[in-house]
Structure 1
Amino acid sequence: MTSESAPHGIPAATIIIFRNDPEGGAPQVLMTVRSRTMVFAGGMAVFPGGRVDPEDFALGEIAASRSGGDITPDEAAHQIAAIRETLEETGLALGLSGDIDASKAAKARAMLEMRNELQPVLDAFGWSLDLDQIVPFARWFPKNENLARVYDTRFYLADLGTGEVDISIDNSENTRLFWTSAKGALEMAEKGEIKLIFPTRRNLERLDLFASFQEARAQAEAIPVKTIVPRIDTTGAQPMLTIMEDAGYPITSELLETVARG
């Protein structure tokens, strides 16, 4: 059985990166438009992230052993994957501590693209993991849907504050990076300017509840992360794709015929 068809799904992680709106409006989040050539969610607007690699699990074991039991190796591996993918896809060095500036981040990104693992980058730049910057937010596992690949994805929150940083696409998986409020992204989708898969749309609706990163973090810490498994409900007049009611999401269903599912 391949990893793509395994019942446990493909482990993946993504970070919802906040920054303050330069004009003083609602907080903004970073989104990326995936290349249309990608098998999963091609052409869709999503948050930066990707699958968890074996090297992430190896580094997760080390991070967990150093945490004194504060985090499991599996959870650490997912957070590390989110950090690695964010640096690779956007050029942002999140979840790391040390002497970090834009120039070093660019060099670290170039090294990561060659080595494809985070540990050599940490060693080369004298950086260390700072997983306290990464806040668990959600976990989505659409195992009941008829998808070509089923990802078991953990979503995290992180904050840039003023957001005075440079970002750039990786020229392989992504074609565009942009900052927008959650409401702005939803409005762009309604106008047909971007396309959203079901989990991204639901997460944007949830993010639109918050006036700041601090509010988002407070809710994330107050509501235990539950594995969200969307289900098809055929009891009504039209089939609906639904999620649980108690995971913090304001909208928990959508007409199946309108759902973009990756």
Structure 2
Amino acid sequence: MSGDPQPETIPAATVVIFRNDPAGGPPQLLMVTRSRNMSFAGGMAVFPGGRIDPADRELAARIAPQFDEIQGAAMIAAMRETLEETGLVIAVKEAVSAAEAADARAMLLETVALAPVLEHFGWTLDLSRLVYFARWWPRFRHERSFDTHFYLYDIGTGAVDIAVDATENTRLFWTSAADALAAADRGEMAVIFPTRRNLERLATFADFGAAKAHAEATPVRTITPKIEDREGGRVLTIPGDLGYPVTEEEISSAMRG
């Protein structure tokens, strides 16, 4: 009914971090396994990210006015959540040592805001290195839904220190998109519907440059999966013109968080 309360929408951001495979194979992506205690996607493997906080919006308005309000805030949230969850400092102009990154993460966990961390270490944001990839707004849940902006980022050689944030996540690992899909098919890890679709898309790229070029040539429109009744059963579908090689999955197998 039109008078029923609508689910809360939570703006969020996530970042797909690329590195070169040390063994010379396809590019590797950084993923985290969420704690089973988390209400959303508990136990699932996802990309680093989380909700956009008011402090992210305030910082974006002050130092990134060239972007619209939500885009600037989403990129800052992606950077902040990456530091918090993995220990990686991304999208800054300055070179960052492993010791500085560890100290910055500890400070972020205390202040719960990125602005004082940037000021303390004298870092300058370079948000242009974050490539806008997709926007997903699934509305499966009755109590709340996440409107998530996806970005791509490349760290090149991958000679970095990472450590899992044990408060929300239980594992932090590098994997190619194809290997992640194979592990999910074997039942070794679980991925929700948006993550699987993005892994399938990412698996088509030979390197970060190809992914970046494809992202820049493909329009970003908000993706809200729909349930359709087919002759063979019900399927969850997404539009077919947004760069995804697989656009539907049987509802019985689709994990929706």
TM-score normalised according to structure 2 size: 0.96
The equivalent of 1:61 in structure 2 is 61
Pairing partner for 1:248 from 243, 248, 253: 243
Q: Which runs of 5+ in 2 are unaligned?
A: none
Q: Summarize deviations over 1:200-237 as a string: whole Å, max 9, x none.
A: 00000000000000000000000111100100001332
| Displacement of 1:129 | 1.1
The equivalent of 1:188 in structure 2 is 183
Distance of 1:194 and 1:97 partners within structure 2: 35
Question: What secondary structure, in the 3-state scheme, does the structure 1 residue paired with 2:74 have?
Answer: helix
The equivalent of 2:104 in structure 1 is 108
With over 3 angstroms needed to count, the CA separation of the structure-2 counterparts of 1:12 and 1:71, relative to structure 1, is same
Pairing partner for 1:150 from 139, 142, 145: 145
Distance of 1:147 and 1:133 partners within structure 2: 35
| Displacement of 1:96 | 1.5
Contact 1:63 1:76 in 2 (8 A): no
Distance of 1:123 and 1:6 partners within structure 2: 39
Contact 2:45 2:191 in 1 (8 A): yes
| Displacement of 1:60 | 1.1
Alignment of 1:10-29 (within 5 A): 10-29=10-29
Q: Structure 1 counterpart of 2:106, which letter? A: A
The equivalent of 1:86 in structure 2 is 82
With over 3 angstroms needed to count, the CA separation of the structure-2 counterparts of 1:6 and 1:240, relative to structure 1, is same
Contact 1:40 1:149 in 2 (8 A): no
Question: What secondary structure, in the 3-state scheme, does the structure 2 residue paired with 1:161 have?
Answer: coil
Distance of 1:44 and 1:82 partners within structure 2: 19
Question: What secondary structure, in the 3-state scheme, does the structure 2 residue paired with 1:108 have?
Answer: helix
Pairing partner for 2:154 from 134, 156, 159: 159
Question: Which sits farther off after the overlay, 230-239 or 18-27?
Answer: 230-239
Pairing partner for 1:98 from 94, 101, 113: 94
Q: Summarize deviations over 1:23-53 as a string: whole Å, max 9, x none.
A: 0000000000000000000000000000000
The equivalent of 1:117 in structure 2 is 113
Task: Give the aligned CA root-mean-square deviation in angstroms.
Answer: 1.2
Runs of 4+ in 1 over 6 A off after TM superposition: none
Question: What secondary structure, in the 3-state scheme, does the structure 2 residue paired with 1:128 have?
Answer: coil
Question: What secondary structure, in the 3-state scheme, does the structure 2 residue paired with 1:100 have?
Answer: coil
With over 3 angstroms needed to count, the CA separation of the structure-2 counterparts of 1:125 and 1:24, relative to structure 1, is same
Contact 1:28 1:182 in 2 (8 A): yes
The equivalent of 1:223 in structure 2 is 218
Contact 2:8 2:143 in 1 (8 A): no
Distance of 2:50 and 2:71 partners within structure 1: 15
| Displacement of 1:8 | 6.8
Q: Structure 1 counterpart of 2:35, which letter? A: S
Distance of 2:167 and 2:109 partners within structure 1: 11
Contact 1:8 1:152 in 2 (8 A): no
Question: Which sits farther off after the overlay, 249-258 or 8-17?
Answer: 8-17
Establish whether residue 207 from structure 1 lines up as the match of residue 202 from structure 2: yes
Distance of 2:31 and 2:174 partners within structure 1: 6
Distance of 2:17 and 2:213 partners within structure 1: 15
Pairing partner for 1:235 from 220, 230, 245: 230
Distance of 1:186 and 1:236 partners within structure 2: 27
Contact 2:192 2:256 in 1 (8 A): yes
| Displacement of 1:95 | 1.0
Distance of 2:94 and 2:182 partners within structure 1: 38
With over 3 angstroms needed to count, the CA separation of the structure-2 counterparts of 1:49 and 1:127, relative to structure 1, is same
Q: Structure 1 counterpart of 2:190, which letter? A: K
Q: Structure 2 counterpart of 1:39, which letter? A: S
Q: Structure 1 counterpart of 2:231, which letter? A: G
Q: Structure 2 counterpart of 1:74, which letter? A: I
Q: Structure 1 counterpart of 2:105, which letter? A: R
Distance of 2:137 and 2:17 partners within structure 1: 21
